[in-house]
């Protein structure tokens, strides 16, 4: 596994968001969500099938189990089955499950974040028990419900560890069509930029940061003033575990007040995170954003603007892009540590989709 991670990190040095592999589907030929959902279901069932009874007991929960919505991103022990507890075929199947739900770029980004634990291990070499605390295989997989049943009942899965929480829920909507909820989705990077060792220069979430700063830099002085919601950067993203972000009303500068070039930059920023998931799921999300009205999207900034011209500044910054169906936040925790989170304010974990389905169909 370390060889794989080393190769991924080396490939990511130039640009971790570059499409190094052929995508599962081209943007103009995106397959139906039903086919992508079926591929994900088969991958989950295949992984569960090769676990021992004891491992399967660790890795599976009822769909309505409280653990499904109890997500975290800090380094801690979790429920589920960790990569370090799997044999080689099981690890391959677990990674195939990740690949079934993520784009090629998203898979590379997630595995690069995992590999940063090795970097932290070297940086924190004098820390007691650092080899156990910083471990690139301490990422836990869990399945909720029964993907093997293949009877239309809801199910979901998660992979989670330090700075990574990917949550997928497979549901049937009110029209009896397959729907896959892809939030909450959390990505973090510490260090945000690797400054020592063979991976020096790596920025796991650098593309997102550059695109957010590019939006702010494209605004004129009046627009920047309206986009700025605070001179102080918040302590963290608002969308921490415990529920969707508590954001009252739209904040910042409306896309409706931007020129076409600026609007395009906002769209590219949104797509950069949404396209972490496979193209079929990303297309579903972008369609919902457009259906709710792209003109209702807002861009918000906190902190100073020195970073727009000096990426090496120690000045922190935060930005948020949000609309009726999504909230994306990017925050520098400290000069070299970032958190990025994508929430649905209306349907995290597919809870509202499931609620609406139950309200219109007897079970």
DSSP string, 99-164: HHHB-HHHHHHHHHHHHHHHHHHHHTTTSTTHHHHS-TT--EEEEES-GGG-SS--EEEEEEETTE
Encode 303-319: b = buried (16+ Cβ within 10 Å), e = exposed: bebebbeeeeeeebbbb
**How many residues does this entry show for the chain?**
363
Question: Of the candidates 204, 83, 80, which has an alpha carbon nearest to the alpha carbon of residue 135?
Answer: 83
What pLDDT does residue 19 have? 33
| Whole-number percent of the chain with pLDDT over 70 | 87
- Check: CB of residue 245 under 8 Å from CB of residue 345: yes
**Tokens standing for residue 319:** 């930005």
CA–CA gap between residue 363 and residue 313 (Å, rounded): 57
Q: Quick one: which of 286, 109, 317 has its CA closest to 210? A: 317
By mean pLDDT, which of 163-177, 220-234, 316-330 is the weakest? 163-177
Q: What mean pLDDT is predicted for residues 256-267?
A: 98
Quote the CA–CA distance of 219 and 266 in Å, as a whole number.
Answer: 11
d(CA 279, CA 274): 9
In this prediction, residue 162 has a pLDDT band, given cuts at 50, 70 and 90, of very high
State how many domains the chain has: 1
| DSSP run (H or E) holding 88 | helix 88-101
**How much is the pLDDT for 172?**
79
**Predicted local confidence at residue 247, as pLDDT:** 78
**Considering the chain, what percentage of its residues have pLDDT values greater than 90?**
79
Average pLDDT, the chain: 89
Per-residue pLDDT, 274: 97
Question: In the prediction, which pLDDT does 175 show?
Answer: 53
Task: Supply the range of the domain harboring residue 297.
Answer: 1-363
More confident residue, 220 or 351: 220
Q: What is the mean pLDDT of residues 107-123?
A: 97
């Amino acid at each position: 596994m370390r060889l794989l991670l080393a190769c991924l990190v080396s490939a990511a040095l130039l640009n971790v968001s570059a499409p190094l592999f052929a995508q599962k589907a081209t943007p103009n030929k995106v397959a139906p969500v039903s086919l992508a959902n079926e591929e994900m279901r088969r991958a989950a069932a295949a992984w569960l099938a090769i676990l021992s009874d004891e491992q399967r007991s660790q890795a599976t929960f009822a769909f309505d189990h409280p653990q499904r919505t109890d997500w975290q991103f800090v380094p801690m022990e979790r429920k589920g089955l960790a990569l370090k507890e799997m044999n080689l075929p099981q690890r391959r199947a677990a990674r195939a499950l990740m690949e079934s739900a993520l784009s090629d770029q998203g898979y590379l980004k997630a595995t690069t974040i995992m590999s940063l634990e090795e970097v932290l291990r070297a940086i924190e070499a004098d820390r007691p028990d650092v080899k156990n605390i910083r471990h690139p295989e301490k990422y836990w997989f869990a399945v909720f419900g029964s993907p093997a049943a293949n009877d239309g009942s809801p199910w979901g899965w998660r992979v989670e560890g330090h700075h990574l929480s990917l949550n997928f829920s497979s549901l049937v909507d009110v029209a009896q069509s397959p729907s896959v909820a892809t939030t909450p989705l959390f990505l973090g990077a510490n260090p945000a930029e690797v400054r020592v060792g063979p991976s020096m220069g790596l920025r796991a979430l650098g593309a997102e940061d550059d695109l957010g700063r590019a939006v702010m830099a494209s605004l004129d002085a009046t627009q920047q003033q309206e986009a700025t919601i605070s001179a102080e950067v918040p302590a963290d993203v608002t969308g921490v575990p415990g529920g969707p972000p508590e954001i009252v009303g739209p904040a910042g500068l409306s896309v409706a007040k931007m020129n076409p070039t600026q609007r395009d930059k906002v769209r590219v920023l949104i797509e950069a995170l949404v396209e972490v998931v496979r193209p079929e799921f990303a297309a579903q999300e972008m369609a919902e954003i457009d259906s709710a009205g792209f003109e209702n999207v807002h861009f918000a900034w906190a902190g100073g603007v020195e970073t727009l011209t000096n990426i090496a500044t120690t000045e922190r910054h935060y930005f948020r892009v949000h609309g009726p169906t999504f909230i994306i936040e990017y925050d520098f925790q400290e000069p070299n540590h970032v958190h990025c989170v994508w929430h649905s304010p209306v349907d995290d974990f597919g809870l509202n989709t499931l609620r609406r389905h139950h309200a219109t169909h007897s079970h």
